[in-house]
Amino acid sequence: MSDSQGLCEPRPAPRARGWIVVLGLVLVVAGVVVAHDALVVHGVMQGVVWLAPVLGWLAQPSWSAGFYGAAVLVGLCGVLMVASAVAPRPHTHFRVDEAESVWMRPVDVARACSARAERQMGVLTARTVVTRRQVVVTVTGDTSDESLQGRVLAAVGPVVELVPTSPQVRVRVVASRQDV
């Protein structure tokens, strides 16, 4: 199989694909503009040649402040395009099974953690943020309950263990608004 882990990691299309869509649309629109001018020049359509001012400007270029801004924007687009051309496909999923190709997104790990945290006695709400390095579970509940943090930690532990990057787990207990 193609990926390094041999299990066909689900990865989105390269970022360059978005630019290809933009390039394609720009070329089609430019083609329509040029086709319009061709029809006008051949006398099929009435009107003015839209490209004439552009060609006239090219022959005797003149500069304004806005023009420099546009050039900088175009240059920035070019740099972004080069960067996206060489950027690898992003990693969007964690592999959560050693034997088979089973995958979860960070947001799914977070939802599973939050659901387990919310089942603990004394927890009103739970919110989880998952990255490759750490998992932060924020629960609202009784801040004077010293065992609450440990119970939440134990509850989310089995889910966090699925993440292959072994992230650090932090549990924050905050008081609910009613208690403040």
Partner 1 sequence: MSAVKAFVLRVIVGVAGLALAAAAVWVVALGVGAGWAQRVAGYADLGFWGALPSQEWFGGALSATAGVLIVVGVVLLWCAVDRRGVSQWQVEESAGEVSGRIVVRLDDVASAVAQDLARVPGVTKARYAAQRDRGDTVLTIRLRVAPDADIDGVRAVCRQAAEDIRGALPGEEIATRFILEINRITKA
Find the binding residues for partner 1 in span 5-44 (CB under 8 A). Answer: 7-8, 10, 13-14, 16-17, 19-21, 23-32, 34-35, 37-38, 41-42
Ranges within 88-127 binding partner 1 (CB under 8 A): 89, 93, 96-97, 99-105, 107-109, 111-112, 114-116, 118-119
The reply on whether position 46 binds partner 1 by CB under 8 A is no
The reply on whether position 135 binds partner 1 by CB under 8 A is no
Q: Considering only the stretches 136-144, 145-153, 155-163, 165-173, report the one whose residues sit in contact with partner 1 under the rule CB under 8 A.
A: 155-163
Take residue 71 and report the two structure tokens written for it.
């050039």
Own/partner pairs, 124-128, CB within 8 angstroms, 24+ separation = 124/176, 125/176, 126/152, 128/156
Report phi then psi at 39, rounded to 5.
-65, -35
Ranges within 47-86 binding partner 1 (CB under 8 A): 49, 51-52, 55-56, 58-61, 63, 67-68, 71-72, 74-75, 77-86
